[in-house]
């Protein structure tokens, strides 16, 4: 298995494009993306658990109820959420895809991201759809990845190549997400594609299982979006025997999926709004996996810990504090904590108590762009990892004038 380029176009038979249609006032920013498979594909998705859901999610659920889809249409700049005509607009976006590509409207995944509660004008989408479809390309992944960005500062893509049954398969994807990130299913918007042949029910199983250790373990700001969705299309063009059971081929597919989603997770967390550092909290020695996940997520969500990381302050008491209120059943007198980066590792807590360490060395370690928070619970053999970012002044600035 190896990392490759191509994002959503890495897999055989997927074209993509992105352009500026006019939803966003800034003409230098693309705001409409389209991904189309050459053939109908197996489809699966997971959605936000927020009771307030964007209309596109409702429409997408209906469209892929049969496990089949062939295209993805996504706009940025407007979430199409809490709008009286939201369902109608999402359905019309699908109809426009059919009119310009020939893909059945009922086989279109629809997504929107941006401001909540603002009516979405269909006119600019309608005016741009012919150009969007005409520009579809097997190398159009970056145009599409750019078009789904909102406050993101970088495009987020990943792809892998792997082998199943002697056939070369590929799986890739793109993501957007920078703020309003605290998922309880998946996160932000993520679109995955693969040319592996896998039954829709197994595809759904793979995705639903994977997100529990990847996208569900990210937090930037503690806010769960109304429009979170992760979808995947599998068109089978690699020619492998259909994966229809939990066998060795399914295990390889799961590994490929996890490799891509892990890369996207790190990109999303590291690009948190206003962030200067990627934080990775690795918990080991837990009595069970749920305990490890609860502890890791609690630490990565702590605003005080995030602020300390911004200031390169080895305030390890904030780690213990977050563990203490997490609700996890742990023995606090067994907890070890260390901070690690490219500049080295510093142990700051052993058996629930502080140990002598060099503040100068700790600061040097915490000034790096990627920081690992290592927690040993010393009560079992289970582990978990969560990702987040530091909390900076710029987070408030960005969200203080988000609508502008």
Q: CA-to-CA distance for 111 and 175, rounded, in angstroms?
A: 12
Q: Which residues contact 320 (CB under 8 A, 6 or more apart)?
A: 332, 335, 337, 349, 352
Q: Which two tokens stand for residue 191?
A: 């679109």
- Can you say whether the dihedral through the CA atoms of 78, 79, 83, 89 is positive or negative? positive
- Can you say whether the dihedral through the CA atoms of 194, 87, 178, 24 is positive or negative? positive
Q: CA-to-CA distance for 11 and 195, rounded, in angstroms?
A: 5
Q: Which long-range contacts (CB under 8 A, 24 or more apart) does 242-251 make?
A: 242/197, 242/198, 242/199, 243/164, 243/196, 243/197, 243/198, 243/199, 243/202, 244/198, 244/199, 244/202, 245/202, 246/202, 246/205, 249/164, 249/165, 250/198, 250/202, 250/206
Half-sphere exposure of 260 toward its Cβ, with a 13 Å CA cutoff? 34
Annotated catalytic residues are: 187
Residue appearing with tokens 């059943």: 329
Spatial contact of 74 and 173, defined as CB atoms under 8 Å apart: no
Q: CA-to-CA distance for 58 and 123, rounded, in angstroms?
A: 22
Residue appearing with tokens 């911004």: 310
Spatial contact of 117 and 81, defined as CB atoms under 8 Å apart: yes
Q: Which two tokens stand for residue 338?
A: 């260390």
* CA 233 to each of CA 9, 43, 214, 259: distance values in angstroms, whole numbers, following the listed order: 12, 5, 19, 17
Q: CA-to-CA distance for 231 and 72, rounded, in angstroms?
A: 9
């Amino acid at each position: 298995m190896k990392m490759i380029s191509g994002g959503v176009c890495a897999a055989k038979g997927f074209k993509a494009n992105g352009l500026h249609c006019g939803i966003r006032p800034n003409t230098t920013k693309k705001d409409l993306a389209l991904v189309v498979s050459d053939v109908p594909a197996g489809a699966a998705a997971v959605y936000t658990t927020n009771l307030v859901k964007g209309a596109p999610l409702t429409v997408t659920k209906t469209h892929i109820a049969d496990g089949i889809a062939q295209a993805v249409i996504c706009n940025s700049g407007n979430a199409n959420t809490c709008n009286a005509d939201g369902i109608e607009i999402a359905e019309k976006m699908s109809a426009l895809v059919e009119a310009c590509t020939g893909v059945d409207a009922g086989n279109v995944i629809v997504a929107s991201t941006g401001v909540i509660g603002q009516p979405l004008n269909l006119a600019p989408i309608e005016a741009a759809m012919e150009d969007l479809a005409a520009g579809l390309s097997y190398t159009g992944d970056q145009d599409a990845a750019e078009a789904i960005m909102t406050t993101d500062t970088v495009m987020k893509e990943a792809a892998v190549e792997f082998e199943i049954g002697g056939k070369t398969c590929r799986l890739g994807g793109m993501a957007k997400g920078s703020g309003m990130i605290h998922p309880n299913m998946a996160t932000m918007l993520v679109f995955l594609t693969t040319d592996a042949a896998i039954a829709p029910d197994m595809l759904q199983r793979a995705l639903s299982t994977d997100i529990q250790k990847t996208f569900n373990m990210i937090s930037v700001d503690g806010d769960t979006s109304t429009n979170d969705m992760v979808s995947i299309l599998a068109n089978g063009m690699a020619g492998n025997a259909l994966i229809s059971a939990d066998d060795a081929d399914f295990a390889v597919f799961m590994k490929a999926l996890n490799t891509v989603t892990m890369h996207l997770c790190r990109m999303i967390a590291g690009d948190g709004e206003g962030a200067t550092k990627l934080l990775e909290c690795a918990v080991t020695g837990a009595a069970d996996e749920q305990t490890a996940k609860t502890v890791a997520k609690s630490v990565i969500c702590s605003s005080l810990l995030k602020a300390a990381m911004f200031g390169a302050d080895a305030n390890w008491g904030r780690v213990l504090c977050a563990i203490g209120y997490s609700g996890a059943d742990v023995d606090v007198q067994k907890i070890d904590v260390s901070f690690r980066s490219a500049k080295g590792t510093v142990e700051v807590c052993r058996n629930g108590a502080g140990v002598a360490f060099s503040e100068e060395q700790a600061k040097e370690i915490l000034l790096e762009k990627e920081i690992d928070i290592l927690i040993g619970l010393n009560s079992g053999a289970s582990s978990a990892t969560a990702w987040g970012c530091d909390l900076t002044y710029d987070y408030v600035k960005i969200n203080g004038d988000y609508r502008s």
